[in-house]
Amino acid sequence: MVVASALLAALAFALAWPVPIVLARADWPSRAPAIALVVWQAIAIAGVLSTIGAFGTFGLSGIASTVSDGLVILASAAMDGSTPSGLGTAHIFALCCAVLFAGHLLLSVLTTIVRTERERRRQHDLVTLLSTPTSSIPGTRLLEYAAPVAYCLPGAFRTATVLTDGLVKALSTDEVNAVISHERAHLAQQHHLLLLAFRAWRKALPWFPIATRASDAVGLLVEMRADDTARAEYSADSLVSAIITVATGGGGSPDVGVADATPQSAAPRVTRLLTQPHPLPSFAVVGILGASLALVLVPPLLLLTA
């Protein structure tokens, strides 16, 4: 199992440092944001499994030759209140690291979900109180606020697309409709769930630069995905004008929703919409998806064969 532990550790290091950096700097994700989102999820899942697996397999290597046998011996010893022979200080430390790391990530996800859902309910109540529904556009609410702001507010039982009257006054009808299409794409494609997972990862590992880099990259990619949906219905010029107006308008949206355009995200989005890069060829898409699946399967396979 020591070999498997070393391989898992090497994979965990690669997925924690060089691989995300290379992906974040690559040009192809803007040509296929949906595929890039799959890759980021594969990196996150494989990275977590590899890290836990590396600690776990090294810890169990002192008492058994396979993971399954080690777990059985460890469980029996725990029930008897004894310590298995061969379990040294380094092995105990590794097992503790595996349990603590897994527990820390799980707790971070659960607390992020609870806090976010609580804040979303509060935001929904405020929006209901302070805004009025638009009769011409079902599911959209108008908020009296001078700055041009648009955001979607997801929730377990209710959703809303919120616009300010400053936005409606600043944009043409086509531009407003493009913004609404963009925000509804976020809700329809469940982007808030994806962002929630990466925000939890970032909060669990605030000292880890890659967690922040991944969260920022995923945030930009979901905006590009929503842009593609809006672009299928409205012109690129309308969407670009709306993005620039919102990004430079000085407004802001709640962190519990899917953020509206910001100066940092606006530039790559506008460039992409104006240049309209060619989509990835089919063979590249198949290759990337295959590599992502293989990446997720490697840690479990190493654990099963350890």
Q: pTM for this structure?
A: 0.94
pLDDT in tens, the chain (306 residues): 899 999 999 999 999 999 999 999 999 999 999 999 999 999 999 999 999 999 999 999 999 999 999 999 999 988 998 889 889 999 999 999 999 999 999 999 999 999 999 999 999 999 999 999 988 788 899 999 999 999 999 988 889 999 999 999 999 999 999 999 999 999 999 999 999 999 999 999 887 778 888 999 999 999 999 999 999 999 999 999 999 999 888 677 766 656 556 777 899 999 999 999 999 999 999 999 999 999 999 999 999 988
Task: Look at residue 261 in the predicted model and tell me its pLDDT.
Answer: 65
Residue 195, domain member (yes or no): yes
Residue 161, domain member (yes or no): yes
Q: In what order do the strands lie in the sheet with 131-133?
A: 131-133, 140-143, 160-164, 150-153
Residue 105, domain member (yes or no): no
Task: Look at residue 259 in the predicted model and tell me its pLDDT.
Answer: 53
Rounded to 10°, the helix 33-60/67-80 angle is 60
Task: Look at residue 45 in the predicted model and tell me its pLDDT.
Answer: 96
H or E element at residue 160: strand 160-164
Task: Give the chain's domain count.
Answer: 1
Residue 265, domain member (yes or no): yes
Residue 34, domain member (yes or no): no
Residue 306, domain member (yes or no): no
Query: Which domain does 263 fall in, by range?
Result: 134-275
Task: Look at residue 256 in the predicted model and tell me its pLDDT.
Answer: 61
Task: Look at residue 257 in the predicted model and tell me its pLDDT.
Answer: 56
Residue 32, domain member (yes or no): no
Q: Rounded to an integer, what distance in angstroms lies between the CA atom of residue 89 and that of residue 112?
A: 34
Residue 251, domain member (yes or no): yes
Task: Look at residue 209 in the predicted model and tell me its pLDDT.
Answer: 73
